[in-house]
Amino acid sequence: MTHVGRADTVLLVRTPIPLVGIGVEKAGESAVGRAIVVADGERAHMHLTRLGEARPYEAAGHFDMRGLRLQGAEAGPSEAFWVGLSCFLPGGGAESDAGPIEKVYVVVEGEMTVETDEGETTLGPFDSCHLEAGERRSLVNRSNRPATMVVVMPYPKAS
């Protein structure tokens, strides 16, 4: 992790510029959407995904939902997890499933009801929950308004 202090320079690249000459060997690489932190000769790269550029993904067992990948997988270079934005229409949700990996849900708008074997709870704006690997859950938007939720999940462990 790079700490940005007084002697560091932060460059947020908003237009296509070649990276050759600022620490990248390959010609043709671009820094669009990346911040380059220069600290004591080291470079760290922040990967930026603008909502308008996020790509949709399909989530098995989900209905009346549109998912956008914000980080990880095909959206960026995360080694441990991926982050998605799920938008559920009224009545939308996810079928009951006990997936093999843990999950974190953060509702940012609307309400989502999370049902587990122990009961159910309704999450409102900025409420969050953590589900253990193998914990059965279903999701449903019981309101008449769309609901938006951030999803954070680690990649499945290699067998």
Q: Rounded to two decimals, what is the model's pTM?
A: 0.72
Give the residue among 139, 130, 143 at the shortest CA–CA distance from 67. Answer: 139
The pLDDT of 6-33, averaged and rounded, is 43
Which tokens sit at 137?
């859950």
Answer whether 125's CB lies under 8 Å from 106's CB: no
Location of structure tokens 């603008």: 50
The three-state secondary structure class of 13 is coil
Q: Specify the 3-state DSSP secondary structure of 38.
A: strand
The pLDDT tens digits for 38-97 are 445 555 678 899 999 999 999 999 999 999 999 999 898 888 999 999 999 999 999 999
> Domain ranges in the chain?
9-47, 53-154
- Residue 120's φ and ψ, nearest 5 degrees, are -140, 160
The matching CATH number, chosen from 2.60.120.10, 3.10.20.310, 2.40.50.140, 2.40.160.40, for 53-154 is 2.60.120.10
